[in-house]
Amino acid sequence: MTDHAAAFRTFEEKLARFTDPAETGAALHELTQAVIGVRLFTLTAINMAAGHVRRVYTSHPEVYPLLGTKPIIIDDWFRSMQTDRTISAINTAAEMEGNFPDLTLIRSLGCDSSISIPVMAGNDLLGTINALDVEGQYPAEAIEKAADLIVPAVAVFLILRNHFEL
């Protein structure tokens, strides 16, 4: 964390002083940019009891808007996030194939790698940080750094849960 201490202090100040809950998502976006780099950034809140997810922040509202909810798809990837808190990265254009129904749109934004960071508190999967960037952006070192974003993200998700009807 010391490599990015100034970015964490800036995040903390923005979190302490926000007037609109959406500012907390923007602050986490900026922190993520400083820590691991990101071109496309979204936060997805998870409501297990209701069985759905909802995008609660986006860096690109014109193509990834904050809309309604979508059903949770319980697959191996989701289970690994929920049970093992696995941060998953896809680092090549070839690996992206078949994993994203909107791959053409993602690639039009210059993204050929992704990282998904599960955010948990109290044994509850609050949501995920979803970051996408150029091919090769998220090697093993980036996954290690991405773990530093989890505690700040818990605060953001708890704030945004009070703002959005999940």
CATH of domain 2-163: 3.30.450.40
What is the reported pTM? Answer: 0.92
How far apart, in whole angstroms, are the C-alpha atoms of residue 99 and residue 92? 12
Indicate the DSSP class of residue 8.
H
Provide the mean pLDDT of the chain.
Answer: 92
Q: pLDDT tens digits for 79-133?
A: 888 888 999 999 999 999 988 889 999 999 999 999 999 999 999 999 999 999 9
Q: Are 13 and 129 in contact (CB under 8 A)?
A: no
pLDDT of residue 58: 96
Has residue 74 got a pLDDT over 50? yes
Q: Are 133 and 40 in contact (CB under 8 A)?
A: yes
As to burial, measured by CB atoms within 10 angstroms (0-12 exposed, 13-18 middle, 19+ buried), residue 104 is exposed
